[in-house]
Structure 1
Amino acid sequence: METIRLAASQEVQEMLGVSRTRAYQITNSKTFPDPVAVLSVGRIWRTEDVERWIKDHRPDLQDREP
């Protein structure tokens, strides 16, 4: 069985190394992947989608430790 890795806003913020406000701006941009779910706790993304976006749009962060 394949493990699905998910990231909420807090994890995306940490992956990007930005403030909560900046993470909100980035995740609302047209280039950022759509969330796979919207729950009561917020939006949820597949971690691999976020990692791909970082590779394409913020290559300086792709080797960053979460």
Structure 2
Amino acid sequence: MPLRSEAQSVRILVVEDGTEKVAYNAVHPSGDKFATTVETRGPATIRVYVGDELVREERVGGEE
């Protein structure tokens, strides 16, 4: 997490088959590090937000 003076909400959204769902939603202290597993059934886009800012987007499950 970015270093800021206050705690920040972290949300992980999964977009799969045209549907968006919240896979993770929690508040973390500034500078916190954590790991979590997000499962998908097929190709999907995973978006990570800190506060309202999109900080990472990754497509998974596609053919490489």
TM-score range (shorter-chain normalised) is under 0.3
Greater strand proportion: 2
More helix by share: 1
TM-score, normalised by the number of residues in structure 1: 0.26
TM-score when scaled to structure 2? 0.27
Larger Rg: 2
